[in-house]
Amino acid sequence: MSKLVLPHGSRELRPLLLEGPQREEERRKAERLKRVPMTTRETSDLIMLGIGAFTPLEGFMGRDDWRGCCETYSLPGKKGLFWPIPVTLSAADDLAGTIAVGEEVALWDVETESIMGTLKVEEKYSIDKEYECKQIFRTADPAHPGVQKVLGQVPVNLAGPVKVISESYYPEMFKGIYQRPAESRRLFEERGWNTVAALQLRNPMHNSHAYLAWIAIEVCDGVYVHQLVGKLKPGDIPAEVRVKAIDALVSKYFRRDRVIQGGYPMEMRYAGPREALLHAVFRQNYGCSHLIVGRDHAGVGNYYGPFDSQKIFQEIPEGALQLRPLCMDWTFYCYECGSMASMKTCPHESKAVIDENGKYQGGARLLLSGTLLRKLMSEGKPVPPEYSRPEVIAILKEYYDGLEEKVEVKLHGFATGEAKS
C-alpha cells in the first residue's frame, strides 16, 4: 500500500482524460458540436483537469463555487472543498446566447487549432472581474499579468463537467519531462520515497534554487524538481530553454537517487500567495508531501511581500491540505562565509558590490533572483560565477545571443534586496 500523501480531497486521482476507443468516439462527437474558443490559460487548466492534477474537480466552476473560491477558499458544490484559485471558462456573449443549458460543446484551442475536449453546460453566468482580481491577486492593476488575463476574459462563464481528449503538444515537445500525477507517484513509489519536497520552478535554476533543493533533501526522502512548461509573460525564458538549463544543473550537481525532474502544463497566474496554495494543491496530487516556499513565491513586481506566500499557509483552515510548506528564508552567496547562506545563518549584513564586468568589489551578500539573472543576460552583462553554474550560463547566453528583439526585464525591490518586508 502506498505511503504517499493522498490526492487532494479524494482517496484516488480523478483524471478526466479519455483513453483508447472512448477518446476517439468523443473526438468524433466533438466535431459535430458548437466550438467554444479557449484562451491559453483555459486550455492549460483543461489539461490539468485531464491528467488529474486538479483532482477532484470535474470541470469548470459554476457561480457558487467561483464566489466561494474567491471569498473563503471553499467550493459549496464540492462540500466545502478547499480550493484557492478559480478554474473557469469564458465565452463571448453572442456565442453563449446560442448555447442552451444541458447542451454539449466542443472546447477549441485557438493556438493549436484543435479540439481539446467537450463540456456539458450546466450553468451560464457573468462575474465581477475586478472583484475576482482583488480577491485573487490583491490588486486590479491592469499592469499585473494575471489581472490582464482576467480583465481580458469575454463576458459569460460556462460551467459543467468536461471530458478531455488531448494534452496538446506537451507530451511530445517535453518528452521525458512532462508528467501526469500518476506517473510521478509511480516513480516516487519505485524509489521507496514517502516524503517528497516539490521545488517549483518557472526560471532557469540558479544557485539559490539548488541550495533550497539540497536543504529539502536533508529532511525528505527526495526532491521533485517540478518546472512549469506552460505559458509565461513576455521577457520570461521559454520553457524549452529552461528545461535544458535546469537539466544541465541537476544532472551534474545532484545525486541521481535523490532527485526526479518533472514538468507540468499550467500557465502562470503570478498570483503570489494564492498561487502558492494552488501549487500546494496540485503538488499533493502529484504525490508530494512538502512544497518548498521561498522568497516571493509565484510573485511578480512589488504586488506582494517577499514572504506573503509563506504567511498564507498559516491563514488557511486547519486540515485544508495534507501537504506542508517548507518555508525557506532569503538565500544568497556570502563572500565572507565563502558559501551559500540565508538570513537565518549568515551574520554578515553588507551587500556585495559587483562591477559592470561581473567582478566582485567588496561586501558580503550577493542576492540571487531569477529576475536579476534574466536582466543581466538580456543586457549582455557578465554574470558573477557565484550566481549560477557555468553550464547554465552557457545555455542562457546562447539563447539571449540568438534573440533578434530584446525584451526589457524590469527589476523590483524583492529581486535586488532593496525591499525587505
According to DSSP, residue 56 is labeled: T
Residues with a known catalytic role: 202-203
DSSP H or E segment with residue 263: strand 259-264
Please state which CATH number belongs to domain 173-264+270-421. 3.40.50.620
- pLDDT band at residue 420 under the 50/70/90 scheme: very low
* Section 75-82 average pLDDT: 97
Q: Taking all residues of the chain, what is their mean pLDDT, rounded to a whole number?
A: 93
Q: Above 60 in pLDDT, residue 186?
A: yes
Percent residues over pLDDT 90 in the chain: 84
Q: Is the bond into 7 cis (omega within 30 degrees of 0)? A: no
| CATH placement of domain 20-168 | 3.10.400.10
- The length of the chain in residues reads 421
Q: Position of cell 559592470?
A: 356
Residue 22 has pLDDT above 60, yes or no: yes
Is the Cα torsion angle 66, 67, 73, 79 positive or negative in sign?
negative
Euclidean distance between CA atoms 285 and 301, whole angstroms? 29
- Position 234 scores a pLDDT of 78
Residue whose C-alpha cell is 516513480? 187
Helices (H) and strands (E) in the chain, counts: 15, 19
pLDDT at 15 over 90: yes
The DSSP symbol for 78 reads: G
Per-residue pLDDT tens over the stretch 351-364: 999 888 888 999 99
- Reported as a pLDDT band with limits 50, 70 and 90, residue 384 is confident
Sign of CA dihedral 287, 225, 345, 297: negative
Say if residues 303 and 82 touch (Cβ distance below 8 Å).
no
CB 167 within 8 A of CB 102: no
pLDDT of 83 reads 98
DSSP at 33: S
Residue 415: its pLDDT value, please? Answer: 47
Residue 404: the pLDDT is 77
Q: In a 3-state reduction of DSSP, which class is residue 182?
A: helix
Beta carbons of 162 and 33 less than 8 angstroms apart: no
* pLDDT of res. 409: 59
How many Å apart are CA 191 and CA 254, to the nearest integer? 16
Domain boundaries of the chain, sorted by first residue: 20-168, 173-264+270-421
Quick check: 306 and 420 in contact, CB under 8 A?
yes
Q: Estimate to the nearest angstrom the gap between the alpha carbon of 251 and the chain centroid.
A: 22
Domains 20-168 and 173-264+270-421 share a fold: no
- Is the model's pLDDT at 421 over the cut of 50? no
Which pLDDT tens digit goes with each residue over 188-205?
999 999 999 999 998 888
- % residues pLDDT > 70 (the chain): 96
